[in-house]
Amino acid sequence: MFRKRNQKNSTHHIAKKSLGQHFLRSQRALSDIVDTGDVHADDVVVEIGPGEGVLTERLLQLAGKVIAIEKDDDLAKKLEEKFSTEIAQGKLELLHQDVLDFDFATLKKYRDFNYKVIANIPYNITGILFRNILTASYQPERMVVLIQKEVADRIIARDAKESLLSLSVKAYGTPKIIASVPPGAFVPPPKVTSAIIAITNVSRDNFANTQEEETFFTFIHAGFAHKRKQLRANMRNIVPVNSLTEIFESLSLPATVRAEDLTLQQWLTMAKIHTNQ
C-alpha cells in the first residue's frame, strides 16, 4: 500500500501550458506503464517530468533507485517534501533541471544496474528527447513512455510509411504500442489521445562502427529533407552520382523511390555500402 502523505502535499498543482503539463490520473494507465517497465530491485529508473509524483511513488516501490528530472520550480519543491524520506535514503535522486540539458551519458556510473527510462513525457519535446536518450553513449535497456498517440503511430509506421522519427527509433530498438490512453485520464485533459509505447532491445547492434551510425543519420536526414522529391534527388548533394548509382543497383531500388518507401534495413545497408566504398 502507498504510505499516507500529509494534507498539504496532496494539493494538486495547476498545470502550466508552457511546459506541456498534463498530469496522469488513470490507475490503469499507471499500472500498464509500470508493468511494461518490468521494474525490479536491480533497476535504476529515470523518470522525466515526475509532476505530482504518482508514477514516482509506484516506481519507488519496485526499483532499486529512481532518478526524477523535474524542470518546474513549484513541483520540484513539492516533490522534495513528498519524498523527503526516499531522498534521504538515497532511493530517490531528484534533479531540478530541464531534461534537455541533462547528459544521459553520465548514467554510466549506474552500469551495475539495469537502466530504464519510464515516464509520462511532455509532448512538445518527444522527438528531441528520444534522440538524446537513444543516441547517448550509454543507452537504457528499455524505454516505456506515454506520448501522443499520433506520434506513437508514426514511430510504429502503421501506414507502412517510414519517417525520420520512426527510423531514428527503430535503428536502436524495437517499438511497440502497449495501450491507448484517452484524454480523460489526465488533468487537464489534452486535446489528443495518448499512447503508452515501449522500446525494447535497445542497442547499437545495427552499426558496425561510429562512421556507419553517422552516415545512416546523414542519409535519412537528407532523404527526408524534401518529402515530395524522389530519394535520388535528395541524396545527390551528399553522395557522388556514381556511388549513388551503385547503392541503388545493389538494393534494386527504382529511380522513382521516395525516402518513406525504404525499410530500416535498406537504409542501414545504404549506410554500410557508402561507408565501405
- Does some domain include residue 112? yes
- Does some domain include residue 2? no
C-alpha distance from residue 96 to each of 51, 71, 101, 130, 183 (Å): 12, 6, 11, 20, 28
Pair 62, 139 in one domain: yes
Say which CATH number the domain at 268 has.
1.10.8.100
Pair 180, 216 in one domain: no
Mean pLDDT by 10 residues, the chain (277 residues): 38 50 90 98 97 96 97 95 98 97 96 95 91 96 97 92 96 98 94 97 97 97 93 94 94 95 97 93
- Does some domain include residue 230? yes
Q: DSSP code of 260?
A: G
Q: How far apart are CA 271 and CA 264, in angstroms?
A: 11
Domain encompassing residue 121: 7-200
Pair 107, 157 in one domain: yes
- Does some domain include residue 205? no
- H helix runs in the chain, sequence order: 27-37, 54-62, 73-82, 84-89, 126-134, 149-156, 164-170, 210-223, 231-235, 241-250, 264-276
**Mean of pLDDT over the chain:** 92
- Does some domain include residue 169? yes
Pair 77, 184 in one domain: yes
Indicate the residue among 159, 180, 200 that finishes a domain: 200
* Set of cell numbers at residue 43: 533497476
The pLDDT, as a whole number, for residue 12 is 57
Pair 69, 164 in one domain: yes
Say which CATH number the domain at 170 has.
3.40.50.150
Pair 227, 124 in one domain: no
Pair 61, 25 in one domain: yes
Pair 56, 158 in one domain: yes
- Does some domain include residue 82? yes
Q: DSSP code of 187?
A: E
Pair 173, 104 in one domain: yes
Pair 192, 235 in one domain: no
- Does some domain include residue 40? yes
Q: How far apart are CA 78 and CA 53, in angstroms?
A: 9
- Does some domain include residue 86? yes
Going by their DSSP bridges, the two strands 43-48 and 65-70 should be labelled as parallel
Single-letter amino acid code for the residue at 183: P
Pair 70, 93 in one domain: yes
The pLDDT, as a whole number, for residue 122 is 85
Q: How far apart are CA 182 and CA 43, in angstroms?
A: 29
- Give the pTM: 0.89
Indicate the residue among 200, 224, 242 that finishes a domain: 200
Indicate the residue among 165, 200, 235 that finishes a domain: 200
- Report how many domains make up the chain: 2
The pLDDT, as a whole number, for residue 5 is 39
The pLDDT, as a whole number, for residue 160 is 86
Pair 155, 48 in one domain: yes
How wide is the angle at C-alpha 34 spanned by C-alphas 152 and 147, nearest 5°?
20
